[in-house]
Structure 1
Amino acid sequence: MARPIRIEYAGAFYHVISRGNERRAVFRGDDDYKLFLSTLEEASDRFDVLIHAYCLMPNHLHLLIQTKDSNLSEFMKRLLGVYTIRFNRRHKRHGHLFRGRYKACLIDQDSYFLELSRYIHLNPVKAKLSVSPEEYCWSSMRFFLRQDGPSYLHKKFTLDSFDSPRAYQVFVKEGMGQNGDLPKPTAGCILGSESFIKNFTKHIQKHKGKDVSGKKGLYRMPIPKLQQLTQGKERSFQMYCLWKYGRLTQRSIGEMFSRTHAAVSQNIHRFGARLAKDKILNQELKSVMSEFKD
């Protein structure tokens, strides 16, 4: 059977599923779930991917995401690859963790976004891992009912369709009494209205079954301009901007600063941690980026 093609473009919404190799567990305990979520936070920040919902099951995972750029493949390669390395190191194992190619279904947000959000959050209930969706620790559902939540989880787009978080909870729980199966995706990779499917079917036919990708590098800032704007800033500030906004690899940044890949990684990680807590540093970064826009 031919593999489903990938359709990538800026602003696209996807339902992503990745399963464990040979249906084996990809999460063996709480520490693994936490490890994946921290990796998800890093990858979503790195590639400007919006996480609208997630659910981590023992042997597979579901994500409802939106890419600002046409970079789904880069994001997933980073997410699953880094997590696999960290999981293998933690459990002293080698080899593949996930089964083959992840499944990514392009979705029409107007027709299926809310259905998918409900479907993802109901997974633990259907698998009898939880009595109600909000009680399951490793999905995003409980955060929709609270003021707080992880910074990478974008709840607003979902909750804007409801009068209150409570109304969204009612909507999700209404699915507990239904079959809950989603329609079979067209061409194995598209879920949407008739017009939405028709539009992308034309692209598939035009590309003769090959992956369809929009413009690359849409959010990559010119390196010379970044260097000019960050000149005089501390080294970790410059490294973070080159990594985050210039999309340079840590190895390339290391060559620019005569530092090892590991040293660059530590600098970027520490700066990101500071950025999450330091309002003044946040404002300084925003000021630099506003100059870029000007």
Structure 2
Amino acid sequence: MTRELPNILSAFEIGVGRVERQPHYFPLIINIAHSTMMTFFTCGEFVSGAEVMMQAAAVATQHGRPTDALHFLYQMQTLAERRGDLATARWARDEAERIGEGETGESWAILLMMRASEAERLGDYAHATTFARQAYDLFAQLEECGDEHMAAGFSPGRALEFDGRPHEALPYFREALLWAESTGNPINRGSILHHIGNCEAYAERYQAAMHAYRKAGEQFVTLGAVEFISNAVGEAGLLVGRLDPLIGLPNRKLVEAALADIFERLAQDLWRDPDVAGNPRVTLRKLAGVVALALHIGHEGHLGDVAAVMYARLV
């Protein structure tokens, strides 16, 4: 998908340019936008992804499809937040409020999830939890959405986790995990496992947390998901001092993938657009965790190359 992404985006641009005069291009635009969502996340193309979602939302709005438009704006908001581009994330939320005014059902539920996401980013976890639970309950009532409420459980789970209520968050995450596994949704499966690991760590169930982080890391390596890999493996490494016995640790393949991901993230932090938020401290914290893992799985030899690789990539 990464190799073919330029071709897919070219087809998308052709469709957007012609859809006003030739409406039969509309399904092409909608299907490309839906089918590339995961790819933009896994390959780290947050800017291109946000632009595609913005164009797709505009086309959907013009064709009287507000629910599709809100889906795309929600993805745009999430992609922008992943990059730290808060202005773009705010624009997506504001546009969703405009389009979603007076809407009901699934459209209203999506808008509630966008409100929850923004409240979470602002640290207002009480409102984030309220909005997310309202969306979850609404999805559960909508027959046409099937098991969508299970997926929506990810949103209240996050809000409760960040509010320091991991015991309340875990049931939502576990239900969302069942949905991700039943629908074959790997990026969400990995993300949910990571958050389950966080909650288990907060509850001091360190072996369960390690298991969740390792499974998340394995999923992200399979996907080649940039940043997600080092997030999961780095958090796992920060637990090794709390485990007794030391079992179920990520293997050498995961450690090497996490190190490569960290070097790339550090390079991006150094060259990042100054208008976009970055946090090298978080990246270095993950590096500490991965180094700890490397030591505990008998992989010290690989660490001898770390300084040389960092010098080559960063200096």
TM-score of the superposed pair, with normalisation by structure 2: 0.25
Higher normalized contact order (CA 8 Å, seq sep 6+, divided by chain length): 1
Task: Tell me which protein shows more strand as a share of its residues.
Answer: 1
Q: Which has the higher helix share?
A: 2
